[in-house]
Structure 1
């Protein structure tokens, strides 16, 4: 079985946000899959996805601090500056983290570890709504 849905997330502030519940809710067919894969793809170049700690908000804040330190906004050597001081830094951060996740499905649920959750990584101050393509395959 294959199925695909688009999920549009409301605008979020810059940072790392847990979206596991939203992804699962947007894919009702997940409950009928014994074994499979869910591919989650973000259709943007200034936001990204990652899988990490789902319990402590400190982890998400530390991710944000680290990436802002490693790739600062308005770095003097950036040439692509027409879309604001956070745009080029957002593109680099999104490339480092990546646009997609492929997650195992077992017994009608995502087979994530106890402390794992899906993050939307919003790298812009005013990123706007974000579209995800969810593709489920399995039996």
Structure 2
């Protein structure tokens, strides 16, 4: 298995960051297999969604609706409402596995691989990309 860790700057606001380009570069020329994308953080996830047409902002809005950043959470360190960030990976998993065919990720026309990071307390994230040859 081939694996590497990339670092992504997410800033101080909740964000959906497209990492498709980085993932595509990682698998380029590797043939057929599986790409596994894993975020080793307790407050981030990986989503396969359309970006650039509002879906990324819609995802953040939906997460705010389902998981409000208020004082209801028992987990209380960090910024107000931070406890919801620790629950979010149960809704947006911290991993995704995708097919790779002839060195290209087999995504649908409008699909992108995105890091979902609601936690402004940590402005950088690591993402492990792993390729398992088929």
Q: State if a TM-score over 0.5 links the two structures.
A: yes
Matches within 5 A, 1:50-65: 50-56=47-53, 58-65=54-61
CA distance in 2, matches of 1:86, 1:21: 32
Aligned residue number for residue 48 of structure 1: 45
Matches within 5 A, 1:1-139: 2-12=1-11, 13-25=13-25, 27=26, 30-56=27-53, 58-76=54-72, 78-139=73-134
CA distance in 1, matches of 2:127, 2:120: 19
CA distance in 1, matches of 2:9, 2:102: 30
Gapped regions of structure 2 (runs ≥ 5): none
Structure with bigger helix share is 1
Write the deviation string for residues 71-106 of structure 1: whole angstroms up to 9, x where unpaired: 101233x21112222321111112211110101000
Partner SS for 2:37: strand
Partner SS for 1:121: strand
CA distance in 2, matches of 1:49, 1:97: 6
Partner SS for 1:34: coil
RMSD (CA atoms)? 1.5
Gapped regions of structure 1 (runs ≥ 5): none
Partner SS for 2:91: helix
Length, aligned pairs only: 133
- Could you tell me the TM-score, scaled by structure 2's length? 0.90
Q: CA deviation at 1:55?
A: 4.4
